[in-house]
Amino acid sequence: MIGKLKGLIDSFGDDVVLIDCGGVCYEVFCSGRTLQALPRVGEAAVVFIETIVREDFIKLYGFASEAEKGWFNLLTSVQGVGARVALAILSVLSPAELSSAVALQDKAMIGRANGVGPKLAVRVVTELKGKVPALGGIDAGTLGLQAALGEGLAAGNISDAVSALTNLGYSSAQASGAVARVVAKEGDDTPTEKLIRLGLRELSA
C-alpha cells in the first residue's frame, strides 16, 4: 500500500495531478485546496496517499498533510459521503475549519461544498461529533469551547464575547479560538468586555 509519494509534478487536471516518481507517473486525485498548494510543473512535491481499491478500479487520493488525509477517512466513513464529496468538502474547508464546524454543529459550513445538501450536512456534523479532537490542528481548549457553544452550554459572558467577535467579521473558529486562549489565561469568569478586548488583542497578534 502506498502511504506517500515523492516526485516531480508532471501535469495537472481539474481534480488530479500526475506525479513522476522515477519515470513512473502516478495519477493522484486531490482536493482543490491541495492542488493549489502543490508546486509548479517540474518541481518536487510530496503528497500523502490514501488508496481506494474496488472491483473495477484502483484510485490514489493525495493530501497536503496527514490531517487532511485523516479528515478524508473520517468523512468517507459517513453514510452518503464518497471520495468525490469528501474532496469537495476538503476543497472549501481546512482541517481546522472542519473541526470547528463539527464542534459547533455548524451544518451551514459543511453545506458550502458542492454536492452536500442540508440532510447530508446534518449527517456529517452529527456522525462525526466527538471523533475529531486529534485531527484539527487546534488545541483541546478551543475544541472544548466550540463544543460547548454548539450545545448551548457555554457561559453567557463567553458566548457573548464570541458572538461580538464574529459580528466584527471574524470566523467562528477564529473568535472561539481567541476567546479560549483568553479564558485559559484569565479564567472563565472574566467579564464580557474584557474577553472581547483581550480577544481582539489575540487576533491581532
State the pTM of this model. 0.70
Is 56 buried (19+), middle (13-18) or exposed (0-12) by CB count in 10 A? exposed
Q: Angle at Cα 138 formed by Cα 1 and Cα 187, nearest 5°? A: 155
Return per-residue pLDDT of the chain as tens, 205 residues: 788 999 999 999 999 999 999 999 999 999 999 999 999 999 999 999 999 998 888 999 999 988 899 899 999 999 999 999 999 999 998 887 787 778 777 788 899 999 999 999 999 988 987 776 554 455 555 655 655 555 555 567 888 888 898 898 888 778 877 887 787 777 767 888 888 998 898 888 6
